[in-house]
Amino acid sequence: MLISMTSTPPAPTNDTRDRILDAAERLFVENGFDGTSMRMITGAANANLAAINYHFGGKDALVQEVFRRRLAALNARRLDELDRLEAEAAGAPLKPSRIVEAFFGTALELAADTEHGGRTFMRLLARTYNEPNAFVRQFLAEEYAEVMDRFLGALFRALPEVPRAEILWRFHFMIGAMAFAIAGLGGLSELMEVGPQDEDPARLLPRLMSFLLGGLRAPLPDSGLQG
Amino acid sequence: MLISMTSTPPAPTNDTRDRILDAAERLFVENGFDGTSMRMITGAANANLAAINYHFGGKDALVQEVFRRRLAALNARRLDELDRLEAEAAGAPLKPSRIVEAFFGTALELAADTEHGGRTFMRLLARTYNEPNAFVRQFLAEEYAEVMDRFLGALFRALPEVPRAEILWRFHFMIGAMAFAIAGLGGLSELMEVGPQDEDPARLLPRLMSFLLGGLRAPLPDSGLQG
DNA sequence: GTATGATTCAAACAAACGTTTGAAACATGC
DNA sequence: GCATGTTTCAAACGTTTGTTTGAATCATAC
């Protein structure tokens, strides 16, 4: 597929393609991957059933593309933020709170965007963290490898006195807290059907950040090593 | 349900029934509900395909029974612990750390049991928190209603100076942290493929507890209300 | 116009799904 | 022995699944 170099608009913007991606994103959040059929997707997208195989090659490839088009941008922003912090610090160790903000703030910002589907996508992403679907997890692991490396490294340097295993676990806990909070953003977790929830993610950010930093700074548990 | 006091063994223990439940539990963790077919389950359980419909009435009813048989016990233990704490306190407000321990400690204890499938079940439960499957969430909400009510009430009384919305959110965060940690217990989250993880949940409990309590006690975020 | 490539469409494909059926096998009490 | 109720089994049911096909439609360039 050669594209003329002369004057073609840079984004051919296949209408059907995007409608399918948007519909899939939304339906995946509501019904899961296996619970969403291609007929549901193409139906919601006002497209023909065969369009998915034509544009993406198959259902699995569509799932990957749903993640790829947004996750790449999110993780690039995360790395940019970290680059900026490290440049400002000029070699000095970073404040842990800044590192945490760079990672989770960007995610919550995206989750706050209800106009362009950022919220929907973040709900899907959060939901997928706990999804066993083999090849999706594989895909996520690859997509996250660099970001994890960079942020964990930064935390290790920022907290040299804390055992690395401890930092690893706490980063793990933080991701879980965020994922659960975001996953429940639309129709907040039926687990606690307590009164009218305030769902404004603008207020969620400071709330979550206080909690995460409190957890990160908590006193270390007794090492458990016979003493 | 009256049980003869004389000598009937209390559990008739239908062999096939239990084999199906165990196989389903394991396969649901690995493949999700929609990703696990009845043929996979009965195959793994060495049972006939029709056995599920015979013993449970259908796939949905099987899913419910997989949860019911274990979740009822877990939540009963949680309420017992809380009862015990409140009886000991004799009217005085409880220490928040004790409340948190009663809720999450019981869960991690179950997750530590690899002999009788407690670990498998807790992984399934954690995974299911983020699962959209309509009727499963409905079922979980009902099964959790009382426990949530009691524990949130206890936390409200233990932390009268903290806005209830804040406590609610933080309890939410805590559940997320625990769920993510437990869900990754077998084959720890591919998200961070960092070295040989130490997966001993006996060490997970103090680690998680430190983090949760640190988060719970963190300074409140700026209210966000204009100033 | 005509030709070329990209996209859409209705229809069909085999495979897998949850469920139902009716007969066989088993257990248990008389 | 027979009778009764429970459990297992192979086979089939009608749907729904993801994918493929070949012709129709659209756009663009010549």
pLDDT of residue A163: 93
Same domain, B76 and B52: no
> Has residue A224 been placed in a domain?
no
Domain edge (last residue) among A5, A23, A57: A57
Confidence of residue B2 (pLDDT cuts 50, 70, 90): very low
B192: which chain A residues are within 8 Å (Cβ-Cβ)? Answer: 144, 148, 152, 168, 171-172
Same domain, A86 and A120: yes
Which of A169, A204, A208 to substitute to test the interface with B, most B CBs within 10 Å? A169
User: Which residues lie below 8 Å from residue A56, measured CB to CB, with a gap of 6+?
Assistant: A20, A62, A65
Same domain, B42 and B77: no
> Has residue A3 been placed in a domain?
no
B179: which chain A residues are within 8 Å (Cβ-Cβ)? Answer: 130, 176, 180
> For position B144, which CATH number holds?
1.10.357.10
Contact B191 A211 (CB under 8 A): no
pLDDT of residue A183: 86
Q: What is the mean pLDDT of chain B?
A: 86
Same domain, B164 and B128: yes
Within the 79-118 window of chain A, which residues sit less than 8 Å (CB to CB) from chain B? none
| Domains of chain A: total | 2
Residue B4, sorted as left (phi over 0), alpha (psi -120 to 50) or beta, turns out to be beta
Give the model confidence (pLDDT) of A31-89 as tens digits.
999 999 999 999 999 999 999 999 999 999 999 999 999 999 999 999 999 999 999 99
> Has residue B162 been placed in a domain?
yes
pLDDT of residue A89: 93
User: From the CA of B83, how many Å to the nearest CA of chain A?
Assistant: 20
Alpha carbon B219 to chain centroid, angstroms: 28
> Has residue A100 been placed in a domain?
yes
Within the 34-53 window of chain A, which residues sit less than 8 Å (CB to CB) from chain B? 34-35
Same domain, A52 and A72: no
Average pLDDT over residues B207-220: 95
User: From the CA of B161, how many Å to the nearest CA of chain A?
Assistant: 16
**Angle B118-129/B15-31 helices, nearest 10 degrees?**
50
Q: State yes or no: pLDDT of A201 exceeds 80.
A: no
CA gap B199, B189 in Å, rounded = 11
**Residue A61 in tokens:** 């490839």
Average pLDDT over residues B23-33: 95
Q: State yes or no: pLDDT of B188 exceeds 80.
A: no
Average pLDDT over residues B59-64: 96
Contact A168 B140 (CB under 8 A): no
Q: Rounded to whole angstroms, what are the CA distances from B167 to A187, B4, B75? A: 19, 47, 21
> For position B38, which CATH number holds?
1.10.10.60
* Radius of gyration of chain A measured on its C-alpha atoms: 20
Q: State yes or no: pLDDT of B9 exceeds 60.
A: no
B181: which chain A residues are within 8 Å (Cβ-Cβ)? Answer: 169, 172-173, 176
Q: B67 φ, ψ to 5°? A: -75, -45
Same domain, A24 and A101: no
Residue B179 one-letter amino acid: A
Residue whose pair of structure tokens reads 């004790």 in the numeric block: B98
Give the model confidence (pLDDT) of A157-166 as tens digits.
999 999 999 9
Same domain, A48 and A119: no
- b/e code B78-112 from CB counts within 10 Å (16+ = b): bbebbeebbeeeeeeebebebbbbbbbbbbbbbbb
Q: What is the mean pLDDT of chain A?
A: 86
Asked which of B96-105, B136-145, B149-158 is least confident by mean pLDDT, the reply is B136-145
Average pLDDT over residues B134-146: 87
pLDDT of residue B30: 92
> Has residue B226 been placed in a domain?
no
> Has residue A227 been placed in a domain?
no
> Has residue B223 been placed in a domain?
no
Candidate from A180, A203, A210 with C-beta closest to B176: A180
> Has residue A82 been placed in a domain?
yes
Residue pair A121/A21 in contact (Cβ under 8 Å)? The answer is no
Q: Which domain holds residue B146?
A: 67-188+199-217
CA gap B48, B16 in Å, rounded = 9
Q: State yes or no: pLDDT of B189 exceeds 70.
A: no
Same domain, A91 and A183: yes
Confidence of residue B13 (pLDDT cuts 50, 70, 90): low
Coil, helix or strand at residue B147: helix
Residues with CB under 7 A from strand D: A 4, 36-40, 49-50, 52-53, 58-60; B 14-16, 47-51, 54-55
A177: which chain B residues are within 8 Å (Cβ-Cβ)? Answer: 173-174, 176-177, 180, 215
pLDDT of residue B201: 66
User: Which residues lie below 8 Å from residue B92, measured CB to CB, with a gap of 6+?
Assistant: none
Q: How many CB atoms lie within 10 A of CB A216?
A: 24
Measured CA A63 to C1' C10 distance, in angstroms: 25
Same domain, A99 and A133: yes
Same domain, A104 and A44: no
CA gap B176, A166 in Å, rounded = 18
Give the model confidence (pLDDT) of B71-103 as tens digits.
999 999 999 999 999 999 998 999 999 999 999
Same domain, A102 and A183: yes
Residue pair B200/A165 in contact (Cβ under 8 Å)? The answer is no
Confidence of residue B226 (pLDDT cuts 50, 70, 90): very low
Give the model confidence (pLDDT) of A79-129 as tens digits.
999 999 999 999 899 999 999 999 999 999 999 999 999 999 999 999 898
A126: which chain B residues are within 8 Å (Cβ-Cβ)? Answer: 130
Candidate from A141, A190, A224 with C-beta closest to B203: A224
CA gap A33, B140 in Å, rounded = 21
Quick one: which of B132, B110, B218, B136 has its CA closest to B173? B218
User: Which residues lie below 8 Å from residue A190, measured CB to CB, with a gap of 6+?
Assistant: B137, B138, B140, B141
pLDDT of residue A132: 73
Residue pair B111/B118 in contact (Cβ under 8 Å)? The answer is yes
**Residue A197 in tokens:** 């929830």
**How large a percentage of chain B has pLDDT more than 70?**
85
Candidate from B29, B180, B220 with C-beta closest to A175: B180
Contact A168 B194 (CB under 8 A): yes
Q: State yes or no: pLDDT of A152 exceeds 80.
A: yes
Q: State yes or no: pLDDT of B200 exceeds 80.
A: no
Same domain, A74 and A52: no
**How large a percentage of chain B has pLDDT more than 90?**
69
Assess B30–A contact: CB distance below 8 Å, yes or no.
yes
User: Which residues lie below 8 Å from residue A126, measured CB to CB, with a gap of 6+?
Assistant: A178, A179, A180, A182, A183, B130
